[in-house]
């Protein structure tokens, strides 16, 4: 009886290092990290006519944790925010680095950083940990949104260090189900309020009886003021029917 290819790779040790390719061209440690991303709580990012919106599921399972202390949306700069799917500890390291780069840009050039500068730095860091030995890949995907020079930007990077710009996207648990709805119903002419309602409706449909406003955090940046605003808990009630 022939052994399954995945088991063969494990026996041969191809999954023991992120830098070792399997005979069929896979980096198994990277693929394992991608599975961690798919287990992470979901985030939805939307570009609308007024700015950018991220709706993030914090998925707090312990009732003893104060919901206000668990943030899923990071402020990179006044005009840039980011969310993630995967390991929070890994995300914190990348977010700290992103904040430093954003502030260095302000000090050096006297102007706010462009969102693509930040996502490229994050993606470069993720890629490096798939190429050099002695360290595991970052177990997360990053969604970054912001406004700059009158334009809205939404990017997503994955475990491998690839990143792309999107009009709308989802990462984490049930991401494919969410993206199917986005492909069908997303409209670029939505207002910020409509985008928040749309994102929460998707989560409500996907989560069913597990839907609870207390587990969500919303961040948005408008073109008019280029400043991150947050909503959570009772502040979200008016956006849900």
Architecture of domain 41-239: 4-Layer Sandwich (3.60)
Lowest pLDDT segment from 59-68, 116-125, 133-142, 226-235: 59-68
What are the Cα distances from residue 179, in Å, to 39, 70, 184?
A: 16, 25, 8
**How many CB atoms lie under 10 A from the CB of residue 150?**
7
Q: Mean pLDDT in the chain?
A: 90
More confident residue, 49 or 132: 49
- Residue 97 CA to residue 74 CA, distance in Å, equals 12
pLDDT in tens, 92-129: 999 999 999 999 999 999 999 999 999 999 999 999 99
| pLDDT computed for residue 6 by the predictor | 57
What are the Cα distances from residue 45, in Å, to 15, 55, 61, 179, 197?
A: 33, 7, 23, 11, 13
Mean pLDDT of the region 157-168: 96
- Residue 50 CA to residue 241 CA, distance in Å, equals 22
* pLDDT band for position 11 (cuts 50, 70, 90): very low
pLDDT in tens, 38-95: 999 999 999 999 999 999 999 877 777 776 677 899 999 999 999 999 999 999 999 9
Mean pLDDT of the region 148-158: 96
Among the listed residues 208, 146, 152, 154, the one whose alpha carbon sits nearest the alpha carbon of residue 177: 208
| pLDDT computed for residue 30 by the predictor | 84
- Residue 26 CA to residue 14 CA, distance in Å, equals 9
- Residue 79 CA to residue 65 CA, distance in Å, equals 29
More confident residue, 91 or 20: 91
Mean pLDDT of the region 14-35: 77
Among the listed residues 71, 72, 165, 150, the one whose alpha carbon sits nearest the alpha carbon of residue 118: 165
More confident residue, 48 or 133: 48
| pLDDT computed for residue 23 by the predictor | 78
| Length of the chain in terms of residues written | 241
Lowest pLDDT segment from 92-106, 128-142, 197-211, 226-240: 128-142
Q: Is the pLDDT of residue 147 over 60?
A: yes
Q: Which residue has the tokens 């063969």?
A: 8
What are the Cα distances from residue 95, in Å, to 9, 52, 173, 174, 186?
A: 34, 19, 21, 24, 28
Predicted structure pTM score: 0.90
| pLDDT computed for residue 98 by the predictor | 97
Q: Is the pLDDT of residue 168 over 70?
A: yes
- Residue 234 CA to residue 67 CA, distance in Å, equals 12
| pLDDT computed for residue 12 by the predictor | 53
Q: Is the pLDDT of residue 219 over 50?
A: yes
């Amino acid at each position: 009886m022939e052994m399954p290819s995945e088991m063969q790779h494990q026996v041969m040790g191809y999954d023991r290092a992120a830098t070792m390719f399997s005979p069929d061209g896979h980096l198994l440690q990277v693929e394992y990290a991608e599975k961690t991303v798919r287990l992470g709580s979901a985030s939805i990012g939307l570009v609308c006519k007024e700015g950018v919106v991220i709706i993030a599921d914090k998925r707090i399972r312990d009732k003893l944790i104060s919901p206000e202390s668990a943030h899923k949306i990071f402020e990179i700069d006044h005009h840039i925010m980011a969310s993630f799917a995967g390991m929070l500890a890994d995300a914190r390291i990348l977010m700290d680095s992103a904040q430093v780069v954003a502030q260095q840009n302000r000090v050096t050039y006297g102007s706010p950083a462009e969102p693509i500068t930040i996502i490229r730095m994050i993606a470069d860091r993720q890629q490096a940990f798939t190429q050099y030995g002695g360290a595991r890949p970052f177990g997360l995907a990053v969604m970054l949104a912001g406004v700059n020079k009158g334009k809205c930007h939404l990017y997503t990077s994955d475990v491998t260090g690839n990143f792309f710009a999107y009009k709308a996207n989802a990462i984490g648990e049930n991401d494919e189900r969410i993206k199917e709805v986005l492909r069908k119903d997303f409209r670029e002419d939505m207002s910020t309020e409509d985008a928040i309602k749309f994102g929460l409706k998707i989560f409500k449909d996907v989560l069913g009886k597990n839907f609870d406003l207390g587990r969500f955090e919303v961040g948005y940046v408008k073109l008019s003021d280029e400043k991150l605003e947050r909503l959570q808990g009772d502040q979200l009630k008016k956006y849900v029917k």
